[in-house]
Amino acid sequence: MKLALSSILLLFTFTCSSQSSYNHVKHYANNAADTPLSNIRDSYILADDVLLRQGPGSDFEVVRKLSIASSVKLISEDTTTTTIKGIKSNWYKAALADNTIGFIWGGLVAQNQFGSSQPGGVKFLLGLEKLVTEPTTDELGNTFDEVAFYTQIRAVKNGKEIAKYSVKNNYSTFDISSMESYGYGTANMGQSGVDNVNDIIRLHVPCRGGCGCSTGDVYIAWDGADFHFMAAAWGTADAQYSEGNGIGFPNAMGGEDGFIIKSINRIIWDETEDQTKRKDLREEYLEFYIWDGKKLQKTARRTESIITEIDNY
């Protein structure tokens, strides 16, 4: 697992960047902003009763009502935008399989889609669900308003929704389309060597807003009938002071059958006022968990801590 610890640290250290418009849903071919829509083979409707209209806006006549997982071909992006539940998106000119042409709001088109790793025909559709401001209380008892992003995952079989799961994130939007993921984007990881699970869906939050930002992954398990929250691994990207957690599954290098391993990488801050005498330390260790089919259960097993002094350059 030493390699996994190093990889996590590198992610936090080198992916600081600045992004904006986290709530603006846009669609690109191959998840690349410079690739034309004409290169997208198919897109899929994210919900039931989605309206295909004659023009780019909710005031235009309805051409057809579409069901979840319906296939559409996005032709072009209109400059008209609409914001619904805090989510902003453009309207797109789209074609159906029978060549019917109309316009659809991009927030109701899945941003990512993939199938289950197991037989049975289950497909997963993902998209940004809503952006809301919620009252939050911190550890000191202070109450303040905090922006919360909700991502939706819908399981579909034979054109019917069989389950839905909403994932809340207070840091930023998940990188649903993997457009800026540095290889750590949203993906179906399959069973990853874990018993009592069909699929593990990883949602990634890239480091946005410059160094010192939060980044990490959330893992959602699918058991063939329902979604279950599995684990979250968060960290802060801040050069040599980067810290955070990582999740290692049984099939990973350094993994172990029967266990999901959580790597802990944290800073022990020296409170000495004289900056020239400060000796901040890094602590690293592993915790071992068991998946019971519904949630992770922490075991008593953990490795000894490795303590190193941070080079304050």
Kindly report, residue by residue over 149-207, the tens digit of the pLDDT.
899 999 999 999 999 999 988 766 677 765 444 445 788 999 999 999 999 999 987 76
**203 and 105 part of one domain:** no
Residue at a domain's end among 110, 141, 165: 110
For residue 308, pLDDT over 70 is answered with yes
Per-residue pLDDT, averaged over 134-140, amounts to: 79
Highest mean pLDDT among 127-131, 194-198, 262-266, 279-283: 194-198
* Residue scoring higher pLDDT (180 or 274): 274
Q: Give the pLDDT of residue 178.
A: 55
**62 and 198 part of one domain:** no
Number of domains in the chain: 2
CA distance 256 to 258: 6
**68 and 141 part of one domain:** no
- Percent of the chain at pLDDT > 70 equals 81
The type of residue at 143 is T
**145 and 233 part of one domain:** yes
CA distance 37 to 75: 6
Q: Give the pLDDT of residue 173.
A: 64
**195 and 248 part of one domain:** yes
Kindly report, residue by residue over 4-25, the tens digit of the pLDDT.
443 333 333 333 332 335 678 8
Secondary structure in 3-state letters for the chain: CHHHHHHHHHHHHHCCCCCCCCCEECCCHHHCCCCCHHHCCCEEECCCCEEEECCCCCCCCEEEEECCCCEEEEEEEEEEEEEECCEEEEEEEEECCCCCEEEEEHHHECCEEEECCCCCCCEEEEEEEEEEEEEEECCCCCEEEEEEEEEEEEEEECCEEEEEEEEEECCCCCCCCCCCCCCCCCEECCCCCCCCCCEEEEEEECCCCCCCEEEEEEEEEECCCCEEEEEEEEEEEECECCEEEEEECCCCCCCECCEEEEEEEEEECCCCCCHHHCCCEEEEEEEEEEECCCCEEEEEEECCCEEEECCCC
Task: Tell me the CATH number at 53.
Answer: 2.30.30.40
**282 and 225 part of one domain:** yes
107 and 127 in contact (C-beta within 8 Å)? yes
CA distance 110 to 71: 10
63 and 95 in contact (C-beta within 8 Å)? no
223: CB partners within 8 A, 6+ apart:
196, 197, 198, 293
**53 and 190 part of one domain:** no
Q: Give the pLDDT of residue 208.
A: 65
Q: Give the pLDDT of residue 35.
A: 64
* Residue scoring higher pLDDT (57 or 132): 57
* Residue scoring higher pLDDT (272 or 294): 294
**184 and 262 part of one domain:** yes
Residue at a domain's end among 75, 110, 145: 110
Q: Give the pLDDT of residue 170.
A: 72
* Residue 39 C-alpha from the chain's centroid: 24
260 and 247 in contact (C-beta within 8 Å)? yes
Q: Give the pLDDT of residue 92.
A: 95
**235 and 276 part of one domain:** yes
Q: Give the pLDDT of residue 195.
A: 95
pLDDT range class, residue 288, cuts 50, 70, 90: very high
Enter the pTM of the model: 0.84
Tell me the residue range of the domain where 35 lies. 28-110
Residue with tokens 């160094």: 211
Residue with tokens 């006549």: 61
Per-residue pLDDT, averaged over 273-294, amounts to: 87
Q: Give the pLDDT of residue 238.
A: 64
For residue 29, pLDDT over 60 is answered with no
238 and 215 in contact (C-beta within 8 Å)? no
Per-residue pLDDT, averaged over 126-132, amounts to: 91
**180 and 241 part of one domain:** yes
Per-residue pLDDT, averaged over 132-150, amounts to: 83
Residue at a domain's end among 110, 137, 158: 110
CA distance 124 to 164: 10
For residue 48, pLDDT over 70 is answered with yes
User: Distances in Å between the alpha carbon of 162 and those of 157, 188, 196, 272, 273?
Assistant: 7, 18, 19, 57, 58
**129 and 11 part of one domain:** yes
- Percent of the chain at pLDDT > 90 equals 55
Q: Give the pLDDT of residue 220.
A: 97
* Residue scoring higher pLDDT (36 or 19): 36
User: Distances in Å between the alpha carbon of 272 and those of 45, 77, 109, 281?
Assistant: 57, 57, 54, 13
176 and 89 in contact (C-beta within 8 Å)? no
**13 and 129 part of one domain:** yes
* Residue scoring higher pLDDT (276 or 113): 113
